[in-house]
Amino acid sequence: MNIYVSIKKLVTYGINCGLLDERDKTYTINLLIDALGIDSFEEPALETENINLEQTLNEILEYAVENGLCEDSVTYRDLFDTRVMSLLMPRPSEVTQKFWELYKISPKDATNYFYKLSGNSNYIRRYRVEKDKKWISSTPYGNIDITINLSKPEKDPKAIAAAKAAPQSGYPKCALCRENEGYAGRVNSPARQNHRIIPVTINDSDWFMQYSPYVYYNEHCIVFNSQHTPMKIDRSTFKKLLDFVELFPHYFVGSNADLPIVGGSILSHDHFQGGNYDFAMAKAPMEKSFSFNGFDDVEAGIVKWPMSTIRLRSKSADSLVCLADKILNSWRAYSDESAFIFSHTNDEPHNTITPIARMKNGCFELDLVLRNNLTTPEHPLGVYHPHSELHNIKKENIGLIEVMGLAVLPARLNSELDELADAIINKKDISSIDTIKKHSSWVNSFVGNYDNINSENIQTILQDEVGKVFLLVLEHAGVFKRDDEGKKAFDRFINQIL
């Protein structure tokens, strides 16, 4: 039976990448044949020890579909192959023990092990992440990252209908809760049997670290509260962020804001995002420096960045926590009608902060990005949000990742840009093509700037123009604009704190 070959290949893969020990071989084969409804096994010879995981899992999935073990859709296949991979996984306690043993050697050794495990286990589906389209766009603020997210599979209509009909479950309470570790999943909740989390203590409280299955950047990790508690930016947030980068000085960590529109997609569970990556914001210099009274050990300044950012740097984490808390409280209550900044309307708060922490040259560094979620009839999705003329490219919230200079753009753009390229080259009327007419005004705004557009340069031109739009997105999200009036308004806020 060919399924014997697929089982042998998967077990060989597990041994080769360190998920299994040779001693685990027979045990794991027996677990796999049980999951596949087979009551015997004859070990075949393999032509190669170099195993392709995606191909091997597809072989097992085809067998499962043909034998009625799994429905033939991406949702059900993902549930089934996660169950299969879980049979190769070490227990959570084993992963935790090995992580902290390696941490004694170095924090990098520990995170390298855990990141590799998260990929080898297929929790991070590397073959999907590799499909993401990425490029660099040059701006006056440095090189920003652009990505079109293609790693999240589209649900098929059958699975969507099943999810709608499925009874709602309160377990796990959300996608971040610790109860996801080992959870089998269901049609409306992803399987996490191959998922592992690492306990960490920050600000004397229990948190966990995991990696994002979508990996928007290198070693994209999520740090989340052990309790299902809402996002909140306060003094303790700064302490937690700085504790984390002290534990893992090769990582940055930041938090989404805690208000709708300017916050992330999950406000119901307190969490941060971090990783081993230098964003354009981290590389941006301070264009103006100043000193806060009572904080002589803190270097402070305004960052040259399209979003309004105050940078604090010190060897003392305590000093940064105290000063960041002072700035946060001042910003929460700050209004400047001439700059169209209102802290509250009808008792609804609008001001908050997106904080990002890192270690740099032996110092703690904390970036505080000022946010405001005010809406108006003209801008119902947010005054400091991408305005409607940019929605053909980016309509979604500007969260932590975008704030730092990485555009996470919707998957629809992949096909739309290809269709646009063809339309521009062949001089078609874009406004008459339903799938891309939303881009007509945008294309008309730049196409005349190029003397010669052809099949060899059209993709580069479109990527450059998308990068320019994302820069405008960041500028729209900035509460103090980058013109002279905006800079004066920013100074007024700073001066009332000094």
> Per residue in 195-205, pLDDT tens?
999 999 999 99
- Residue 120 CA: distances (Å) to CA of 130, 150, 198: 15, 20, 17
Q: What is the pLDDT of residues 452-482, one digit of tens each?
A: 999 999 999 999 999 999 999 999 999 999 9
pLDDT score for 49: 81
Question: Stretch 281-307: mean pLDDT, rounded?
Answer: 97
Q: Is the pLDDT of residue 137 over 80?
A: yes
Q: Is the pLDDT of residue 130 over 60?
A: yes
Q: Where are the alpha helices (DSSP H) in 456-495?
A: 458-477, 484-495
Question: Stretch 317-337: mean pLDDT, rounded?
Answer: 98
Confirm if 272 and 477 have CB atoms less than 8 A apart.
no
pLDDT score for 265: 79
Question: Stretch 41-45: mean pLDDT, rounded?
Answer: 93
- Residue 241 CA: distances (Å) to CA of 263, 321, 399, 447: 17, 10, 17, 45
Q: What angle in degrees, to the nearest 10, is found between the helix axes of 25-35 and 2-16?
A: 140
Q: Is 167 exposed, middle or buried (CB count within 10 Å of its CB: 0-12, 13-18, 19+)?
A: exposed
pLDDT score for 164: 58
pLDDT score for 170: 85
pLDDT score for 168: 66
**111-115-120-121 Cα dihedral, nearest 10 degrees:** 100
Q: Is the pLDDT of residue 419 over 80?
A: yes
Amino acid letter for position 323: L
Determine if the peptide bond prior to 92 is cis (ω within 30°). Answer: no
Q: Using pLDDT thresholds of 50, 70 and 90, give the confidence band for residue 152.
A: confident
Confirm if 430 and 439 have CB atoms less than 8 A apart.
yes
Q: Is the pLDDT of residue 163 over 90?
A: no
**261-263-269-275 Cα dihedral, nearest 10 degrees:** 150
Q: Is the pLDDT of residue 369 over 90?
A: yes
Q: Is the pLDDT of residue 165 over 90?
A: no
Question: Stretch 31-36: mean pLDDT, rounded?
Answer: 97
pLDDT score for 161: 61
pLDDT score for 162: 63
Lowest mean pLDDT among 63-72, 258-267, 316-325, 414-423: 258-267
Q: CA 484 to CA 454: how far, in whole Å?
A: 39
Q: CA 31 to CA 50: how far, in whole Å?
A: 22
Q: Is the pLDDT of residue 160 over 80?
A: no
pTM metric for this prediction: 0.94
Q: CA 100 to CA 95: how far, in whole Å?
A: 9
Q: Is the pLDDT of residue 172 over 80?
A: yes
Percent above pLDDT 90 for the chain: 93
pLDDT score for 9: 97
Which H or E element spans position 143? strand 142-148
Q: What is the pLDDT of residues 87-125, one digit of tens each?
A: 999 999 999 999 999 999 999 999 999 999 999 999 999
Q: Is the pLDDT of residue 309 over 60?
A: yes
Q: Please, what is the average pLDDT of the chain? A: 95
Percent above pLDDT 70 for the chain: 97
Q: Is the pLDDT of residue 302 over 60?
A: yes
